[in-house]
Structure 1
């Protein structure tokens, strides 16, 4: 599936989990960094309006589908895609890093959430090794001095994995800068995945996710903030559906 915005084109690079994790393991084995983004409808809304976000997304080495609408649009375009939310990728990515003997850094959330996530991963992932745990200040600029200092700290560890829990578009912009300043690090934008592990945020129950209603569960948990966001997402669906149908015909 390919998404086009003016002169920028963004494509799903890995349609399934096995292919993604195989590529991640190969990067780790070579000591080569990467940037991984998980695209969803909210990202598509932001990408339409934010040229800087488009530039950051175009710098991502790996892009996978996050959200059932992306899966459905891909199917309409004649391409298969597996649902791979960032939250579901945290454990597999950390297992891959541990298997390669690499540290896992985390940036975002709060100090308590980061430490809680590190403790959870240490209990769940044999060989897990925590790297830098960085809770950025309020108003954190993903390309500013604080971001550059964080990346210097991460780069000093050598090859490794960094989980970014800033939310879009900050996490993708930080990852794009990281590809330049910490080229041996694999950056994965996982959103609330870190806080789910630490228990600082509650994820929708598994049965809610199984019926593709996690969005509604989240919207009802914070209606004033999320209902307008989801309304903007639904508003772009007709245009994206037409674009997917045209891709299938082409």
Structure 2
């Protein structure tokens, strides 16, 4: 499945979680870096209005479908992909890191959130080494001196895998920049994944996620923030559906 945005192509690959984990295992074992983005409808809204975000996304060599609407669009295009939520990949990625002896860095949120997330991940993944916890300041600019400072900290940490929980587009823009500067390191943007691990945000119950109503759970949990977001997402769906239909060939 692919999306054509501002003369650029964003292609979903790997297509399934099993395939993704196989690729990540190989990359970590060979110390071949990567930048992993988790595409959802909110990202597509931002991509259509932010050329810098598009450039950052095209510099990711791994992109998975993080939202059910993206999965449904892929089916409409007859190029189906599976749902691979970034939050669901956090623990499996940490297990791969432990298995391969890869040290981990966490970037995003607050010091308290990162500390809690690191403690819980180390408790459930034996052998995991979290060697850096970096909480950028408010107003963090991934493309300015602050971004360069984070990259310097990552370089000094000796980490081989970095989880970014800064929200879009900051996490993807930092991942693209850091991947170019540190090509041996893997960067995975996981959104609220660390908040869920730390317990600072409550994720929808599993049964809600299984019936594809996590979006409703999130909207009811924070309507002031989420309702405008979902309205913007709904507004671009007709164009996305038309584009998916054209891909049927």
- TM-score w.r.t. the length of structure 1 is 0.97
In the other structure, the counterpart of 2:242 is 242
> Displacement, 1:80?
2.1
SS in 2 for 1:38: strand
What are the within-5 Å matches in structure 2 for residues 46-57 of structure 1?
A: 46-57=46-57
In the other structure, the counterpart of 1:152 is 152
SS in 2 for 1:218: helix
> Displacement, 1:159?
5.3
Q: Take 1:166 and 1:81, find their aligned partners in 2: how far apart are those partners? A: 25
> Displacement, 1:99?
0.8
- Which deviations, in whole Å up to 9, do the C-alpha atoms of 1:210-249 show, x marking residues without a partner? 111111111111111110110110111111111111101x
> Displacement, 1:156?
2.5
> Is the contact between residue 204 and residue 214 of structure 2 (CA under 8 Å) also seen in structure 1?
yes
Q: Take 2:166 and 2:86, find their aligned partners in 1: how far apart are those partners? A: 12
> Is the contact between residue 65 and residue 85 of structure 2 (CA under 8 Å) also seen in structure 1?
yes
SS in 2 for 1:37: strand
SS in 1 for 2:157: coil
Q: Take 1:219 and 1:9, find their aligned partners in 2: how far apart are those partners? A: 30
In the other structure, the counterpart of 2:182 is 182
Q: Take 2:93 and 2:144, find their aligned partners in 1: how far apart are those partners? A: 27
Matched, 1:111 2:111: yes
Matched, 1:96 2:96: yes
> Is the contact between residue 28 and residue 97 of structure 1 (CA under 8 Å) also seen in structure 2?
yes
What are the within-5 Å matches in structure 2 for residues 200-219 of structure 1?
A: 200-219=200-219
> Displacement, 1:81?
1.1
Please report the RMSD computed on the Cα atoms of aligned residues, expressed in angstroms: 0.9
5+ residue gaps, structure 2: none
5+ residue gaps, structure 1: none
> Is the contact between residue 158 and residue 184 of structure 1 (CA under 8 Å) also seen in structure 2?
no
> Is the contact between residue 36 and residue 189 of structure 1 (CA under 8 Å) also seen in structure 2?
yes
Q: Take 1:21 and 1:108, find their aligned partners in 2: how far apart are those partners? A: 23
- Say how many residue pairs are matched: 249
- Which deviations, in whole Å up to 9, do the C-alpha atoms of 1:79-122 show, x marking residues without a partner? 22111111001011111111110111000001011010001111
In the other structure, the counterpart of 2:45 is 45
Matched, 1:63 2:63: yes
Q: Take 1:197 and 1:182, find their aligned partners in 2: how far apart are those partners? A: 26
- TM-score w.r.t. the length of structure 2 is 0.98
> Is the contact between residue 155 and residue 184 of structure 1 (CA under 8 Å) also seen in structure 2?
no
Q: Take 1:215 and 1:18, find their aligned partners in 2: how far apart are those partners? A: 24
> Is the contact between residue 141 and residue 147 of structure 2 (CA under 8 Å) also seen in structure 1?
yes
